[in-house]
Amino acid sequence: MICTVVGARPNFIKMAPIILELKRRGIPQFFVHTGQHYDAKMSTIFFDELNMPQPDDYLGVGSGSHAEQTARILTAFEAVCVMQQPQLVMVAGDVNSTLACSLVAAKLQIPVAHVESGLRSFDRTMPEEINRVLTDHIADLLFTTEASGNENLRWEGIAPEKIHFVGNSMIDSLHTHLDKALARTPWIAFDVPPGAYGVVTFHRPSNVDDPATARELAHALARIGSTTRLIFPIHPRTKANSDGLWESLEGVTLVEPLGYLDFLGLMAKAKFVLTDSGGIQEETTALGVPCITVRHNTERPITLTEGTNQLVAPQADAIVRAAQQLPSGAEHNIPPLWDGHAAQRIVDVLQQWLASQADESRS
Ligand code: UDP
């Protein structure tokens, strides 16, 4: 049996197609939600909208410092593995649940599969980078989304036979749900015509935890908002650290985090997206929507070379200039294997792996 793990918002979107494909093929799985994200807007709505089954176990770890949260996941997930004895633990992305659950499995000598392996920002000040690097080095099956991931892993000495270039399961979810998302016309609720507004998300510690940087971003939003309406679904950690900074900016509509369908529909018809999210850089590339990523680096370089993404320093003048001089979307390419079938390729590899394990135990 395969133990599939989710913990936080981006995990739900990456894992849903894989969980459903395992189910469709009748492969036994034990589905765990660590509860890293836990409320209606950051968790429950995604289960409903992505048609995910209810988790078999909910660990309820909640929020806390990195150490507290990671420690709670380690303890709770070890008990799950000891009880369920899965043949394989499958994690996704770069959140604390990803690293903690991989570590538990590796110490119990349970093989680990990592979805979205090999991405590197080469910036160890990002907690996500630590989670990615460590998870990859204890994983046995590494599923990559873009060629840079294969190169990074090989350069770090990972055995090539462990690396499987399968494409991007987050884009599987996009393909499955885009028509439904557009049919909801979420822009109408904001009283803006399609193509005439920007969508904003910021939640990286480097942008929202440092008051001077956050003020710089808020200035940029107010200046852009004076000519183009901005819709900003605010992440809980951004709100918690903001001291009211993002409220009452001219032309900026601040809302609670949106469900996947409304967010996807809104993003698909945006004039541009302004973000520091990882996944949104990929979704905008798949949608052909200009993306201004307010960061010094990206672990997803294919969105720069093939897609619609550009990096902009967290400085008001630079951000405003980028929003005023949007590149034409005409020239972008869809990266290889971002075709809506990544989950099928992942489950093909898992089936072969399960068969090889069965052969080994017979011989
Ligand atoms: N997203 C959403 N509602 C929102 C903001 C984002 O459904 O209000 C989705 C978005 O489409 C993407 C994912 O959440 O699929 C990205 O998650 P996030 O930016 O929190 O994490 P990151 O990708 O940076 O790890």
186 in contact with ligand 1, CB cutoff 6 A = no
Indicate whether 11 and 71 sit together in one domain. yes
- The verdict on residue 329 lying in a domain is no
- The confidence score (pLDDT) of residue 330 equals 62
Is 279 touching ligand 1 by the criterion CB < 6 Å?
yes
Is residue 200 domain-shared with residue 138, that is, in the same domain?
no
Number of domains in the chain: 2
Structural domain contains residue 19? yes
106 assigned to some structural domain? yes
Same domain, 316 and 342: no
- Do 320 and 250 have their domain in common? yes
Q: Please tell me if the CB atom of residue 115 comes closer than 6 angstroms to any atom of ligand 1.
A: no
Residue 52 DSSP label: P
How do residues 212-260 score in pLDDT, each as one tens digit?
A: 999 999 999 999 999 999 999 999 989 987 888 999 898 999 999 999 9
Q: What is the pLDDT of residues 126-137, one digit of tens each?
A: 999 999 999 999
**Whether 154 and 103 share a structural domain:** yes
Catalytic choice (164, 203, 235, 341) = 203
> Which residue range(s) make up the domain with 315?
176-324
Q: Indicate which residue's Cα is closest to atom 17 of ligand 1.
A: 10
Q: Please, which pLDDT band fits residue 332 given cuts at 50, 70 and 90?
A: confident
Side-by-side strand order, sheet with 197-201: 252-255, 229-233, 197-201, 272-275, 291-294, 309-312
96 and 160 co-located in one domain: yes
Q: Is 332 among the domain residues? A: no
The whole-number average pLDDT for the span 339-349 is 98
Please give the full DSSP string across 103-126, using - where no structure is assigned.
HHHHHTT--EEEEEES-----TTS
Q: pLDDT tens digit string along 93-125? A: 999 999 999 999 999 999 999 999 999 999 999
- Domain of 36, CATH number, reads 3.40.50.2000
Whether the pLDDT of residue 54 is over 90: the answer is: yes
- pLDDT (mean) for 147-176: 98
Determine whether the shortest distance from the Cβ of 7 to ligand 1 is under 6 A: no
Does the structure show a pLDDT above 70 at 352?
Answer: yes
Contact by Cβ (8 Å): 291, 270: no
Q: Measured between alpha carbons, how far apart are the two ends of the chain, in Å?
A: 20
Chain segment 311-321, per-residue pLDDT in tens: 999 999 999 99
Calculated CA dihedral for residues 162, 128, 131, 349, nearest 10 degrees: -30
Ligand 1 centroid–CA 349 distance in Å is: 27
Flag whether pLDDT at 151 surpasses 70: yes
Mutate to test the pocket of ligand 1, among 135, 168, 263 (most ligand atoms within 8 A of CB): 263
Answer yes or no: do 191 and 315 share one domain.
yes
Tell me: do 204 and 123 sit in the same domain: no
Q: Which atom of ligand 1 is nearest to the CA of 8?
A: 20
The best mutation among 177, 277, 284 to test binding of ligand 1, ranked by most ligand atoms within 8 Å of the C-beta, falls on: 277
152 C-alpha to ligand 1 centroid (Å): 25
Spacing, Cα 323 to ligand 1 middle (Å): 21
In a domain, 330, yes or no: no
Instruction: Compute the half-sphere exposure of residue 283: CA atoms within 13 Å on the CB side of its CA.
Output: 31
Q: Is residue 331 part of a domain?
A: no
330 burial level (CB within 10 Å; 0-12, 13-18, 19+): exposed
Residue 333 lies in a domain: no
* Pocket lining: 233 vs ligand 1, CB cutoff 6 Å: yes
> pLDDT of 81-94, one tens digit each?
999 999 999 999 99
Q: Whose CA is nearest to atom 24 of ligand 1?
A: 277
Domain identity same for 111 and 232: no
- The minimum-distance atom of ligand 1 relative to the CA of 173 is 15
In short, whether 280's Cβ falls inside 6 Å of ligand 1 is: yes
pTM: 0.97
CB of 293 sitting under 6 A from ligand 1:
no
Is residue 18, in this structure, part of any structural domain at all? yes
Same domain, 347 and 240: no
Residue 343 predicted with pLDDT over 80: yes
Residues 41 and 126 in one domain: yes
CB atoms within 10 A of CB 172: 26
The whole-chain average pLDDT of the chain stands at 96
Instruction: Give the count of beta carbons closer than 10 Å to the beta carbon of residue 5.
Output: 29
Residue 169 reports pLDDT greater than 80? yes
203 is catalytic: yes
Mean pLDDT of 285-295: 97
Examine the domain organization and report whether 111 and 224 are in the same domain: no
Give me the amino acid identity at 119.
L
> 281 with 310: CB under 8 angstroms?
no
d(CA 39, CA 51): 17
- Whole-number Cα distances in Å, 163 to 225, 253, 273: 44, 43, 32
What pLDDT score does 329 carry? 59
Judge whether residue 360 has pLDDT over 90.
no
pLDDT tens readout for residues 185-195: 999 999 999 99
